[in-house]
């Protein structure tokens, strides 16, 4: 069976006190506490600004061997430049997270495209070529316009060894659960409507069964993004326990 890594999108949430963090624990100790329970985390603040070298080295130091980071790529590459002329911008972003790769803790880089970005296979191919030439590690793409969800795009991702992000988002019901690599990436964005973003036990059981079927041939990274009221922590715990 292939590994399954379950975690959350971020760790610095005040309403996780009393659920994951003791009430009096200072915030500087939260990542280490998070890493004692979960083996992976998705970092989203790299989407908004490049992290300092000191910050990235701190992430390395505060987590144990075997811990893996999924890092969302800079919006300058995906949203401002929209993958145009990617060589310079990709290099700058990847250099900023180099300490993670050097420490063996960079699990995946997530490239999330804006909803207004329609299918452009030529541009995607050029970006994938530039990205994998600089870093042949794991890269995944999250498309948020329905035009991308076609066989030609899946084959393009496969040709570069990149994964299609499988996003559980009721606002994007056109997104598919296509596997394009020997690993896959899940973004659990919210639960059923009317539950404030919390996943129902039945929903988590459905995802557990899917992941259990995939892991016979596919490594899985799964992250809960419903952070408020510590739903992400609770849901990640339940899913991980069902897959142990």
CATH superfamily ID and name for 4-243:
Protein of unknown function UPF0759 (3.20.20.410)
Q: How does the average pLDDT of the chain come out, rounded?
A: 95
Strands (E), the chain: 4-9, 40-43, 68-72, 106-112, 139-142, 163-168, 183-188, 219-224
Whole-number percent of the chain with pLDDT over 70: 98
Render pLDDT for 86-121 as a digit per residue (tens, 0 to 9): 888 899 999 999 999 999 999 999 999 999 999 999
The predicted pLDDT at position 29 comes to: 98
Render pLDDT for 38-65 as a digit per residue (tens, 0 to 9): 999 999 999 999 999 999 999 999 999 9
The predicted pLDDT at position 188 comes to: 95
Tokens representing 199 are 């996943």
Backbone angles phi, psi at 115, to 5 degrees: -60, -25
pLDDT band at 244 (very low <50, low <70, confident <90, very high): confident
Give CA–CA dist 11/33, Å, rounded.
9
Over residues 143-156, the mean pLDDT reads 98
The predicted pLDDT at position 195 comes to: 73
The predicted pLDDT at position 123 comes to: 96
Residue 237's CB is within 10 A of a number of other CB atoms, namely 18
Over residues 131-155, the mean pLDDT reads 97
pLDDT band at 213 (very low <50, low <70, confident <90, very high): very high
pTM for this entry: 0.95
Q: How many CA atoms lie within 13 A of 130 on its CB side?
A: 19
Least confidently predicted of 7-21, 150-164, 167-181, 192-206:
192-206
The predicted pLDDT at position 60 comes to: 98
């Amino acid at each position: 069976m292939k590994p399954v890594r379950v975690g959350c999108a971020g760790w610095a949430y005040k309403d996780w006190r009393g659920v994951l963090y003791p009430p009096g624990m200072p915030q500087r100790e939260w990542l280490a506490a998070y890493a004692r329970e979960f083996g992976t985390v998705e970092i989203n603040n790299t989407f908004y600004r490049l992290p300092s070298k000191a910050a990235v080295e701190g992430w390395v130091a505060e987590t144990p061997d075997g811990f893996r980071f999924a890092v969302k790529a800079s919006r300058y590459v995906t949203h401002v430049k929209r993958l145009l002329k990617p060589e310079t911008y990709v290099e700058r972003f990847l250099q900023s997270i180099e300490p993670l790769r050097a420490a063996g803790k960079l699990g995946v880089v997530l490239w999330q495209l804006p909803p207004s970005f329609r299918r452009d296979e030529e541009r995607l191919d050029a970006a994938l070529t530039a990205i994998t030439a600089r870093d042949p590690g794991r890269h995944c793409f999250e498309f948020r316009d329905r035009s991308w969800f076609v066989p030609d795009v899946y084959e393009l991702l496969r040709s570069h060894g990149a994964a299609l992000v499988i996003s559980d988002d009721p606002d994007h019901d056109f997104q598919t659960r296509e596997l394009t690599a020997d690993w896959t990436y899940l973004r659990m964005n919210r639960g059923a409507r009317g539950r404030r973003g919390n996943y129902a036990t039945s929903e988590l059981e459905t995802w557990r069964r899917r992941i259990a079927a995939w892991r016979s041939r596919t490594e899985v990274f799964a992250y809960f993004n419903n952070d408020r009221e510590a739903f992400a922590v609770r849901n990640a715990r339940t899913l991980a326990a069902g897959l142990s």
